[in-house]
Chains A and B, each alone.
Chain A
Amino acid sequence: MFFKRVVALLGLVLAACARSSTGDSVLVVLDSSLDKEAYSVFWDGLVDKGYSLTFRSHKDARPAVVEDEVAQFNHVVVFAPDSKNLPQDLTPQSLVALLDKGTNLLLALSSKKQTTINTLASEFSLVLPPPGTPLISHFPARDTPATVVPVPPPHAHPVLTAGLPPVWFSGVPFAYTPNPLLLPLLNAPAEAFAADTTSDAGADAVVEAADRAGEGLWAGSSLALAAGFQATTGARATFVGGVEMFSNEFAQKELPQGKLSGNKQFAQDVASWSFQESNALRIDKVKHHRVNETEPRETYTINDNVVFTMHVSKFNSNKDTWEPYSGIQDMQLEFTMLDPHIRTALSPVPGQPGEYSVTFRVPDRHGVFKFIVDHKRKGWTHLQSTTVVPVVPPQHDEYPRFLSAAWPYYIGAMSTSVGFVLFSALWLAGDDREGKKKGIKTE
């Protein structure tokens, strides 16, 4: 009894501490050239939310990220942009393996050298410019170097706080490929470009080189500065073009207009998405049954009317609980045998938080069907559910009987019987008389 109480209490305490839907332990791998205190605003923000941070130099091998094939941390932050070699447990292969185990990653790219993290980015469908070509913008007029650029964040974004002021950025831009798993977090301003020199003397050479290489200029608002990637396991990896975005200096730096920059909030938004704190969904329960019943059937008969119900929750990081979530308007249910025979909207039920339901008629076709929900939206956890259910033709005793169209046949059969009875009666009635007559005759 006492033991149970302790366990329950421990569980409560742990739950109260956790601020992410997957856990609260974070390993931060810092380049030894970076000062930990220079990023204290970001660390303090994470600690305030309830994360427990473990720091480690990029040269150290301990504490290990994975021990006995078990990931020791829920989230890994690698702020080691300019170190060419990372230890064995942080090679690109190890980091991909970490994603497979469900560990979330926050990675900073280097603008100076070709590092292993930069190589890894291309595996996530991000294309980096040649090493040593940081983002440059001469607009707006300001007193900072051309490589330190204020970037206005996107207006309506599923992850970022609305109305965020521009953020300072210094680092390397990169290009997207049309990978549906990518989530653009921050794009470069339209007048920004990537070049290896800030002087305008070599501008013609830059254009010429771009023409010769055939890949165009690295310029414009389609360049990415920060991008998220959600793996099929649900784990998230975020690539940021420059680690300075998270620094105290940028967080406290005033914008040319005189306002405070949005870096502090931006860094927390990016971290909360990366650590599966925001936009984390899950399917709680999937139910299916015939109309006017409550229990699921082993099999369904063709043309049955079937109700499919699903409960979806969203993680609330403020209360640290999963809460019913009815905000998805475009969810679809497919009833599939090889092809979707039915594809219908799975709409939220008014008055039932988190419940999505649809009633439909099973097609006039028997076979092994599947209820499939496959909801994939950029920036949100993928919702996938598959339930196999056989659809059979009616049993021999489930067909309709005594149809009105068959009444002539029923009357025919009954009249034959009545006729038989009448005939027998008349025959037997006549038998006595005739028997007597016959008897008389024969006698």
Chain B
Amino acid sequence: MAPKSTAAAKQPTTSTPSALHETSPAAAGNAVQSLLKAYNETTSPRLKLIDAFLVFLMIAGVLQFVYCVLVTNFPFNAFLAGFGSCVGQFVLTASLRSQVNPANRNEFKDVSPERAFADFALGSVVLHFFVYNFLG
């Protein structure tokens, strides 16, 4: 829940806000602007770091998928490894975000942020091991 909304909210920051103002109707522009403002003010820097990483992973995944569709899916194992590493890393990072988000503290009472990061790091290492094994 949380990662999806934040990722969607984060996206406009990558495009230029000024262009958005000119092309969008005033009401929508205001809504986006206020959303951005609220995000900037209420989100902790740690969550912003996670969100930046998530956006990066999403862009990398989309680029690889577009290359696969438009150019070639050969060798297919390399595509699966590259695309899978983005998707897998995205899922792991998103779950880290939901576990360290102070807003979700009630749902993850017995998981400390350190424990959550350790899980994330271990999962990522295993993921990368499989990815490089599959890549060549």
Q: Mark B32-75, 1 if CB is under 8 A from A, else 0.
A: 00000000000001100110010011001101100100011011
- Please encode chain A, from 339 to 380, with 1 for each CB lying within 8 Å of some chain B CB and 0 for all others: 000000000000000000000000000000000000000000
Q: Please indicate the chain B residues that have their CB under 8 angstroms from the CB of A406 in the complex.
A: 74-75, 78-79
In the complex, chain B residues whose CB is within 8 Å of the CB of A427? 46, 49, 117
Complex: A412 Cα to B132 Cα, angstroms: 11
- Decide yes or no whether A413 CB sits under 8 A from chain B: yes
Q: How far is the CB of A413 from chain B (nearest CB, A)?
A: 5
A415 interface residue per 8 A CB criterion: yes
Interface residue tally on B, bucketed by range: 20 to 34
- With both chains docked as a complex, state the minimum distance between the C-beta of A442 and any C-beta of chain B, in angstroms: 12
By a CB distance below 8 angstroms, the chain A residues around B64 are 408-409, 412
Contact of A413 among B53, B74, B121, B132 (CB under 8 A): B132
With both beta carbons as reference points, the residue of chain B lying nearest to A411 in the complex is identified as B82
Q: Which residues of A contact B25 (CB under 8 A)?
A: none
- List the one stretch of A243-251, A259-267, A418-426 in contact with chain B: A418-426
B124 located at the interface, meaning its Cβ lies under 8 Å from any Cβ of chain A in the complex:
yes
| Tally of chain A residues near chain B (CB < 8 A) | 23
A424 to B56, CA, bound (A): 15
Stretch at the interface among A44-52, A212-220, A397-405: A397-405
0/1 string, B76-102, CB within 8 A of A gives 1: 001101110110010001000000000
Q: Report Cα–Cα, A109/B89, bound state, in Å.
A: 95
Known: A423-B49, A423-B53, A430-B45. A412 touches B128 (CB 8 A): no
CB under 8 Å from chain B, chain A span 414-443: 415-417, 419-420, 423-424, 426-427, 430-431, 434
Assuming the contacts A403-B75, A406-B78, asked whether A412 and B86 have C-beta atoms less than 8 A apart, the reply is yes
Q: Confirm or deny: A410 has a beta carbon within 8 angstroms of a beta carbon on chain B.
A: yes
Complex contacts, A431 vs chain B, CB 8 Å: 117
Say yes or no: A412-B82 contact (C-beta < 8 A), given A419-B57, A426-B49: yes
Chain A residues with Cβ below 8 Å from B93 are 423
Q: Which residue of B lies closest to A415 (CB)?
A: B60
Residues of chain A within 8 A of B67, CB atoms compared = 408-409
In the complex, which residues of chain B have a beta carbon less than 8 angstroms from the beta carbon of A402? 136
Residue B111 at the chain A interface, CB threshold 8 Å: no
CB–CB B72/A412 < 8 A: no
Query: Smallest Cβ distance from A93 to chain B, in angstroms?
Result: 68
How near does chain A come to B63, taking the closest CB pair, in angstroms?
7
By secondary structure, the A interface counts as helix
**Number of residue pairs spanning A and B whose beta carbons lie under 8 angstroms apart:** 78
Inter-chain contacts of B85 with A (CB < 8 A): 412-413, 416-417
Closest B residue by C-beta to A422: B53
Which residue of A408, A412, A423, A431 has the most chain B CB atoms within 10 A of its CB atom?
A: A412
| CB <8 Å contact, B89 and A420 | yes
The distance in angstroms between the C-alpha atoms of A413 and B53, with both chains bound, is: 14
Given A423-B49, A430-B49, also A412-B75 (CB < 8 A): no
Residues from chain A with a CB closer than 8 A to the CB of B131 are 413, 416-417
Q: Which chain B residues lie closer than 8 Å to A411 at the CB level?
A: 82
A232 to chain B, nearest CB (A): 52
Report the Cα distance A106→B117, complex, angstroms.
99
B9 within 8 A of A: no
User: Is the CB–CB distance between B75 and A405 below 8 Å?
Assistant: yes
Decide: A417 and B78 in contact? CB cutoff 8 A: no
Q: Is the CB of B75 within 8 A of A424?
A: no
Instruction: Select B79's contact among A401, A409, A415, beta carbons within 8 Å.
Output: A409
Q: Which residues of B contact A403 (CB under 8 A)?
A: 74-75, 78
A403-B75, A406-B75, A408-B64 known; A416 and B136 CB under 8 Å?
Answer: no
Contact status A409-B83, CB under 8 Å: yes
List the B residue with the shortest CB-CB distance to A433. B45
B135 at the interface (CB under 8 A from A): yes
Question: A401: which of B46, B49, B72, B136 is its contact (CB, 8 Å)?
Answer: B136
Chain B positions 98 through 125: 1 when the CB is less than 8 Å from some CB of chain A, otherwise 0: 0000000000000000000100010010
The contact sample of 13 A-B pairs, CB cut-off 8 A, is: A403-B74, A403-B75, A406-B74, A406-B75, A408-B67, A409-B64, A409-B79, A409-B135, A416-B57, A417-B85, A419-B60, A426-B49, A434-B46
Task: Beyond the given A413-B132, A416-B60, please list 6 additional residue pairs across the A-B interface where CB-CB is below 8 A.
Answer: A405-B71, A406-B74, A408-B67, A408-B71, A412-B85, A423-B49
Point out residues on B near A: beta carbons under 8 Å.
45-46, 49-50, 53, 56-57, 60-61, 63-64, 67, 71-72, 74-75, 78-79, 81-83, 85-86, 89, 93, 117, 121, 124, 128, 131-132, 135-136
8 tightest Cβ-Cβ pairs between the two chains A and B: A409-B82, A412-B82, A406-B78, A409-B78, A416-B85, A413-B82, A412-B64, A413-B85
